[in-house]
């Protein structure tokens, strides 16, 4: 379904926002998508049609659409047109939530595949991350989390065995590691480090990533009762995921 240029023109003229024309057009599109009035897959009017209807230059319309595309709100296909993009999955930057709850809050279905669930001895890096002696018992889990049928997170987690001795007995297809750890070793403090990474071939396969698609990695370390309990490396598809947060000055 194509959004009528007359609708866009009517909304644009009703605006009372200051600022450059490209920004006003961009904010109009953002508002209509955020309100749910324009939905995934709807086609925006062609650039030339928009320029004529709004009384703007094609360069102005092009800039608004380019910025909307860069922010993931619009998908542009050469020779076809511009479309409202599928909303990106998101995660709170300053909080720690279960990914299953985040998916459910978006009205979608969560499921998980367990790729690894085993006991290991802490190597030097793991010992430093978990603040345990080298050779100490640790548990290692690797899960792929899905939103409906799309992989959205590869969770690679190391856990101090002495803090959660029954970790390996859990069925993490029914309950996330986060939910179990919050019950057994309630979170007292957390640390987030976020970076863009180049996924390995195996990570690309598990997350269904394109050849040149970047990954968004969150390294999360959590404490309970003043002890480090877990270190998780959470890898997301860079083009299908975002972090968001609110803070006070």
Q: Tens-digit pLDDT profile for the chain (249 aa)?
A: 789 889 888 888 888 767 788 888 988 888 888 778 898 889 999 999 999 999 999 999 999 898 888 777 888 888 888 998 876 654 444 456 788 888 888 788 999 999 999 999 999 999 999 999 999 999 999 999 999 989 999 999 999 999 999 999 999 999 999 999 988 988 878 888 888 899 999 999 999 888 888 898 999 999 987 899 999 999 998 876 666 544 444
Distance, in Å, from the CA atom of 172 to the CA atom of 117, rounded to the nearest integer, reads 9
Please report, to the nearest 10 degrees, the dihedral formed by the alpha carbons of residues 146, 147, 153, 155 taken in order: -50
Distance, in Å, from the CA atom of 229 to the CA atom of 34, rounded to the nearest integer, reads 38
pTM of the predicted model as reported, rounded to 2 decimal places: 0.63
Distance, in Å, from the CA atom of 207 to the CA atom of 150, rounded to the nearest integer, reads 8
Q: Which candidate, 197, 147, 158, 201, places its Cα nearest to that of 181?
A: 158
Coil, strand or helix at 36 = coil
Which residues are 141's β-sheet partners? 117, 157
Beta strands in the chain (DSSP E): 74-77, 81-84, 89-92, 110-121, 137-147, 150-160, 189-197, 215-224, 227-237, 241-244
Distance, in Å, from the CA atom of 165 to the CA atom of 186, rounded to the nearest integer, reads 15
If 0-12 CB within 10 Å is exposed, 13-18 middle and 19+ buried, where does residue 237 land?
A: buried
Coil, strand or helix at 88 = coil
Check residue 160 and give its pLDDT.
97
């Amino acid at each position: 379904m194509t959004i009528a240029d007359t609708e866009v023109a009517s909304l644009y003229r009703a605006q009372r926002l200051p600022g450059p024309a490209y920004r006003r057009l961009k904010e109009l599109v953002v508002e209509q998508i955020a309100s749910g009035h324009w939905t995934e897959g709807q086609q925006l009017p062609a650039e030339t049609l928009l320029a004529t209807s709004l009384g703007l230059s094609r360069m102005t319309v092009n800039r608004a659409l380019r910025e909307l595309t860069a922010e993931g709100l619009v998908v542009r296909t050469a020779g076809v047109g511009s479309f409202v993009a599928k909303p990106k999955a998101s995660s709170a930057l300053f909080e720690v939530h279960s990914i299953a709850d985040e998916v459910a809050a978006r009205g979608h279905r969560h499921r998980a595949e367990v790729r690894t669930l085993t006991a290991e001895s802490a190597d030097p890096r793991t010992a430093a991350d978990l603040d345990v002696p080298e050779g100490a018992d640790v548990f290692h889990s690797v899960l792929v989390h899905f939103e409906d049928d799309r992989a959205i997170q590869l969770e690679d987690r190391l856990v101090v065995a002495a803090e959660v001795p029954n970790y390996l007995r859990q069925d993490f297809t029914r309950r996330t590691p986060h939910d179990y750890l919050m019950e057994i070793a309630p979170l007292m403090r957390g640390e987030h480090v976020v970076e863009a990474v180049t996924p390995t071939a195996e990570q690309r396969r598990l997350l269904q990533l394109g050849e040149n698609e970047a990954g968004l990695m969150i390294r999360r370390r959590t404490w309970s009762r003043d002890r480090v309990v877990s270190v998780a490396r959470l890898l997301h598809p860079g083009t299908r995921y975002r972090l968001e947060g609110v803070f006070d000055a």
